[in-house]
Structure formats: structure tokens, C-alpha cells
Amino acid sequence: MKFDVIVVGGSFAGLSATMQLARARRRVALIDAAAPRNRFTKASHGFLGQDGKSPHEIVATGRSELGRYPTVKLIDAEAVSAAAEGDVFNVTLSGGEVLQAVRLVLATGMRDELPDVPGLDLRWGRSVFACPYCDGYEYGDMALGVLAAGPLSVHQAMLVSDWGPTTYFTQGLHEPDAEGLAALSARGVRIERSPVVELLGPVPTLEAMRLADGRAVPLSALFIAPQTHIVSDLPHQLGCALENGPKGPYIKVDDFKLTSVKGVYAAGDVASPMPNATLASASGVLAGVAAHQSLIFP
């Protein structure tokens, strides 16, 4: 089956790209494996017009809206391979079906590598978060923590302290330098050097952090800046160039979301070092518009 554009990934970026192409009356297939990065969270915040709604609800609404456009085909499957053949791209689905298109939009998302601390994964997206702009407001003036996971953790602790009294847990791995210590002190951030060994409280809530020395530090929410990984192998198969971000590699794109491979666009978290629902949706719009215009002005 041949389309003008195939969009891989059906969360905020992929849906937004597909909408632009649908309204341009182009034949577009949206392939979705139904495993978005935000599936662990209860509500999406800071997304204008969608504040407080669950990501699942937002996606379901988007799919319903796209279903009204006759040139859109929604496909629930995983895209397992993609390759260029002349002027077209062949995309193979998990069931073996092969689709063709002259343009691709990759909106396949990222995977977070969580620290190996008992109880953390059970609270991910519920009381353990990555983004204070997305989830900090609900915990305003409560006891907050930042679990050091990489070079961005000191920066994150500086930010989180605007929402409530903050403790920075170094884990014995990410000790701030002199400048960082001074900056954290100026923000009133407490430093805790005994490693966290367990998260306490009835799941999915958080009540305290158990430390290696036996103490329990009361806490209502924890923030981390985990390392990230590109979920899909398609960017590698297609030969897309990558950028090295502070939390991991992502697809390199130009101002119009074109990758290093002609005819392949990328949008959302997979093409940005800054994960955010609004930015993902906006980048999907730009990728969809750019892919459409490239069909007219190759």
C-alpha cells in the first residue's frame, strides 16, 4: 500500500504531523505501537487547552479527530524496519505488511533509563518525575527531592527549589563542584550524600527516602533527569545523523525538522533534547507542514 507520507509514532508529535498532512488532503498512514513515553503518567500539565488531562485521553481525542479525514489510515502496529528504494521508502510492520511512501516523519519517542533504586520505577510518572514544569505545581511548598543521575542534576535541583524546599541526593556519584555547591546553597537546597537505597510509602505515592545509613528523609515528590535512549531502530536503519544531548543522543534536524536523510523528517522527543508536550506537538506541526511542502517543492 502506497502513501504520500508515513508517520511513525502516534503520540503528540505524530498526531500533530498527521493532522497537517490530513488537512492538506494527502494520503497519510499513522503507525502507532501504543507505547508512548508518557504512558506512565496520570495527567499532562502545562499543555494549553489540555491541562490536567491524561495523555491517553489527549491521544484518544486526537485519533478521533483524525478519523474524520478520509485520506488518513490509522495503523496499530510497530514499524520494525525502514529503507529507501529509489524515491520511495519501504516500511515493514510487525505483522509483515510493507507500506510505501515518498516521505517519512519519525515521531517514535524516547525511553528513560531510570536509576536502579527499589520502588522508583513503581512511582515513575506518579510521584517521581522528570519535569518540574509539568508536575511541580501540584507539589508546591511540599518536601521535594532531586536524585542525582547525571550532569543536569545540579541544574535541576536549582529549578525544583522554586516549587518547594528541596534536597539534592548526590548518590555518592554526582558531587557538585565548588561553584555548584555555592549556587545550591544560595537557593536553600540541602545536600544529602548518603545514597538512597529505597523509596518509602504506599505506591504510587511517596513519603520518604530510605538512606544507606538507615535514616529516612521525608519527601512528597522526587525529580530526576534520567539518561534517555531512542526507542526505535528506524533512525539508525535509515542513516539519520544524531546529536549528543546532555541526557543522550537524539536525531539531528534542521529548522524544518528535516533529518540528514532526504525525505525523512523527525519530531517530538526523538528530535529534541528538551521533552515537553507542547513542544512535541508544535514540532509535529512543523514536520507535517514541511513534509507536505517538500512534495510540492522538492
d(Cα 119, Cα 121) in Å, to the nearest integer? 6
* Structural domain boundaries, residue 173: 115-224
User: Do 180 and 211 belong together in one domain?
Assistant: yes
d(Cα 296, Cα 189) in Å, to the nearest integer? 54
Q: H helices of 67-160, where?
A: 132-135, 153-160
User: Do 141 and 176 belong together in one domain?
Assistant: yes
Whether 150 shows a pLDDT value over 90: the answer reads: no
Mean pLDDT score of the chain: 96
User: Do 100 and 25 belong together in one domain?
Assistant: yes
State residue 173's pLDDT score. Answer: 86
User: Do 238 and 213 belong together in one domain?
Assistant: no
Residues 43-80: pLDDT tens digits?
999 999 999 999 999 999 999 999 999 999 999 999 99
User: Do 19 and 65 belong together in one domain?
Assistant: yes
Residues 83-96: pLDDT tens digits?
999 999 999 999 99
Whether 127 shows a pLDDT value over 90: the answer reads: yes
Collect all residues with Cβ–Cβ distance below 8 Å to 110 and sequence separation of at least 6. 37, 228, 229, 230, 231, 248, 250, 269, 270, 275
CATH number of the domain encompassing residue 138: 3.50.50.60
Residues 188-241: pLDDT tens digits?
999 999 999 999 999 999 999 999 999 999 999 999 999 999 999 999 999 999
For the question of whether the overall pTM of this predicted structure is more than 0.85, the answer is: yes
Percent of the chain with pLDDT over 90: 96
- Local structure of residue 135 (DSSP, 8 states): H
Of 224, 254, 283, the residue at which a domain comes to its end is 224
